[in-house]
Structure 1
Amino acid sequence: MSKQAILIQCHKNPEQVNLLLAALQHPDVDIYIHVDKKSDIGSRLRTSSQMHILPDKYRVDVQWATFSQVRATLNLLRYASHHGEYEHYWLCSGQDYPIKSIDEIVRFLHSKPDANFIQIWDSKNSTGGGTENNYDKRTAIYFPAFVLGNSTAKRIAKRALVELTGGWNRSLSIFRRKAPDNVKFYFGSSWICLSGEAECWMESYLKSHHEYIRFYRNVNCPDESFFQTLVMNSPYKDNREDYLHYVDWSEGGNSPKTLTIDDYEKISGSDKLMARKFDLNANKKIIERLKRNND
């Protein structure tokens, strides 16, 4: 029976990451860990023979809303696929924690060997008759590096560029980019789980379509479109189900709600396998409760 690869991006709170790693221990699971290049927590992670921390040359300084997030994910996927053959490649964060036990997770993944678990939001603009929205805007125009990021100056510069080119809900034709390889764009959560076949196809496609990566280097929040667009323009577009994470966006803003013990009933009642995001320093009780359930 094929193994599963769980890919983890982390940058802080090694104690919390270690709790996650312990919860994911299973004979049928290998774990690959990308520690943000600007972080020093790697030496404090408790690893085993089935855990692999990416060497320094594969580490990326991940910055919000930039291609660095995609690059870190690609490095994880490639490193894992070159070190083993896996049924699925599941991207998770160091601020995640499983809702189900690792035995249940492995059984579920084994039961759906061909499925790609990925959230998909259609692009209204590229259908020809829909109204463009702020997701379409992310790929419609060229975003230079100096406007991409989370600083106040970059946010102001990005907003000025958006208004100059037609606003969030339309893009003037003079500024509109041509899609690489005439793909139709899709969007969704970064937290994907790809089948082994789809991951292999993706690597092959990217090797022969360098223009795709070049295009996405100047997309706003590319990690929420890069893999969705690949899957939906691939032979595997019909082999997909919704993504495996429980995430609460009820507070609005650019980041999901930090889950607490008050969210336990909603989390435990979900049909998802993993939840995010948690902060051990802010609310340890919720992780302890989920841990007791999974033991």
Structure 2
Amino acid sequence: MKIAHLILAYAAPAQLSKLIGALEDEHAWFFVHLDKKADLNAFAFLQNHERITLVPDRVDVGWGAYSIVEATLRGFKAVVDSGIDFGYVNLLSGADYPLQSPPEIHDYFVRNAGKNFMEYYSVHNEWTEAIPRLTEYHLTNYNFPCKYLVQKWLNKLLPARTMPAGLEPVGRSQWMSLTLDAVRYMLDYLDGHPGVTKFFKLTWAPDEIIFQTILYNSPFRSSLVNDNLRYIDWSKGQASPKVLTEEDLDRVLASGKLFARKFDLARFPAVIAKLDRKIQNHHYK
């Protein structure tokens, strides 16, 4: 089984290089979307590598905006357009890192072939704090003077938004591991439902809802596993997860997950060094 690791990155070329190195394997290919703001010269190591594809038509990604959905879709399209018959497409950020060796990751997906791994909590029943993302207008994806004033008046004057196409919204984490068939389905679905794209362009952080919702409301629902296979620490209650350090390592490794985030090689290199040793020890057993 071949695995496509689709990595969304915007900075930290040294850390991205280490991430790719930790996942390199005869079964692994890499598709990297670099934020349009990133300096390509700093990522020259990605060039001329037969198993690394730089996603074309880079997107200028804004936090909480639809632009990250667009970057992901362009990555998905690059994977599909490669013509390689991948068993899984594994969506990562440049701040992620594996907790298992490449053979262990490969074997896990072989044992679970056909399953789609992502978090999908009901927005209306379990993840209710996300309801305003869908019922209110959000202009996060747009850039023009006084846009937040316009947004305020849109929400004062217009009725609450409703989900398009009869979709039941679910979601949570944007990071997921999907079959190539599921990725193809999402691309085809959005091509055929422009109203869904239009709706999510006015949604805050749509990357945490759009893909899960499409698959949940599709024939793929029975294949979904409500587990994104990632260790992420939200204990600080902030908008972004905790940056993991050596103090977290025992909990991270005890989680049994395949990947974890977030890491910062520049600030906390020791935790990644220890993970490398753990991965290498398992690799060569």
Q: What is the TM-score of this pair, normalised by structure 2?
A: 0.89
Give the whole-Å Cα distance in 2 for the aligned partners of 1:265 and 1:281: 21
Is residue 137 of structure 1 aligned with residue 122 of structure 2?
Answer: no
More deviation, 44-53/214-223? 44-53
What aligned pairs does 1:180-191 form with structure 2 within 5 A after superposition? 180-191=164-175
Give the whole-Å Cα distance in 1 for the aligned partners of 2:126 and 2:14: 46
SS at match of 2:222: coil
Contact 2:62 2:141 (8 Å CA) reproduced: no
User: 1:38 is matched with which residue?
Assistant: 37
2:162 pairs with 154, 178, 184, which one? 178
SS at match of 2:45: coil
CA shift, 1:43, in A, is 4.6
CA shift, 1:231, in A, is 1.0
Give the whole-Å Cα distance in 2 for the aligned partners of 1:246 and 1:200: 27
User: 1:216 is matched with which residue?
Assistant: 200
User: 1:270 is matched with which residue?
Assistant: 255
Contact 1:33 1:51 (8 Å CA) reproduced: yes
Contact 2:243 2:264 (8 Å CA) reproduced: yes
User: 1:85 is matched with which residue?
Assistant: 85
CA shift, 1:175, in A, is 2.1
Give the whole-Å Cα distance in 1 for the aligned partners of 2:258 and 2:141: 37
**RMSD between aligned residues:** 2.4
Give the whole-Å Cα distance in 1 for the aligned partners of 2:275 and 2:44: 21
User: 2:283 is matched with which residue?
Assistant: none
CA shift, 1:85, in A, is 2.2
SS at match of 2:17: helix
User: 1:7 is matched with which residue?
Assistant: 6
Give the whole-Å Cα distance in 2 for the aligned partners of 1:147 and 1:122: 28
CA shift, 1:104, in A, is 0.3
CA shift, 1:271, in A, is 1.4
User: 1:244 is matched with which residue?
Assistant: 229
Is residue 102 of structure 1 aligned with residue 102 of structure 2?
Answer: yes
Give the whole-Å Cα distance in 2 for the aligned partners of 1:131 and 1:264: 29
Q: Which one-letter code corresponds to 1:273 in the other structure? A: L
CA shift, 1:263, in A, is 0.6
Contact 1:9 1:92 (8 Å CA) reproduced: yes
Identify if the C-alpha distance between structure 1 residues 131 and 121 changes in structure 2 by more than 3 Å, giving closer, same or farther.
closer
Contact 1:4 1:30 (8 Å CA) reproduced: yes
More deviation, 236-245/130-139? 130-139
CA shift, 1:178, in A, is 3.0
CA shift, 1:7, in A, is 0.2
Q: What is the TM-score of this pair, normalised by structure 1?
A: 0.86
Give the whole-Å Cα distance in 2 for the aligned partners of 1:231 and 1:70: 15
Identify if the C-alpha distance between structure 1 residues 274 and 122 changes in structure 2 by more than 3 Å, giving closer, same or farther.
same
Is residue 200 of structure 1 aligned with residue 184 of structure 2?
Answer: yes
User: 1:120 is matched with which residue?
Assistant: 120
CA shift, 1:211, in A, is 1.1
CA shift, 1:31, in A, is 0.6
Is residue 16 of structure 1 aligned with residue 15 of structure 2?
Answer: yes
Contact 2:64 2:140 (8 Å CA) reproduced: no
SS at match of 1:175: coil
CA shift, 1:133, in A, is 3.0
Give the whole-Å Cα distance in 2 for the aligned partners of 1:40 and 1:185: 36
SS at match of 2:221: coil
More deviation, 99-108/176-185? 176-185
CA shift, 1:143, in A, is 1.6
Aligned residues: 275
Give the whole-Å Cα distance in 1 for the aligned partners of 2:214 and 2:40: 32
User: 2:63 is matched with which residue?
Assistant: 64
Give the whole-Å Cα distance in 2 for the aligned partners of 1:286 and 1:38: 28
